[in-house]
Amino acid sequence: MTLDLLPAGQSARIVSVDWSRLVDEEARRLRALGVDDGARVKVSHKGVFGGADPIALAVGRMTVALRRAHAAAMEVEIL
C-alpha cells in the first residue's frame, strides 16, 4: 500500500520510496524532515473541503505537510 491510501490515524512504517518520482529538491527536503525509508509515520490530517490534498504526516514528534503526489511514491506497511 502507498502512503496516500493510508487512512488517517493509522500508524505505518515507510518501507521504500521511489525517489525517481520526486524532484531532487523535494526529495532532499523530505529526507531532511525525516520522511525517509524506515520512518514511522501516521497520517494526522488529510485534505481541505473533502479533497485529499494536502496531507499532514506525523513523523516522530514532528508534523510535516506534503502532497498526495509525494505520498504516492512511498510504500508503507501498517504497524
Residues that bind other proteins (CB under 8 A): 22-23, 25-26, 28-34, 36-37, 44-51, 53-54, 56, 59-67, 69-70
With beta carbons less than 8 A apart as the criterion, state whether 41 and 3 touch: yes
Question: From CA 20, how far away is CA 15, in angstroms rounded?
Answer: 16
Helices (H), 1-79: 24-32, 68-71
Distance in Å, CB of 60 to other proteins, minimum: 5
Distance in Å, CB of 33 to other proteins, minimum: 6
Distance in Å, CB of 67 to other proteins, minimum: 5
Looking at beta carbons only, is 33 or 75 nearer to other proteins? 33
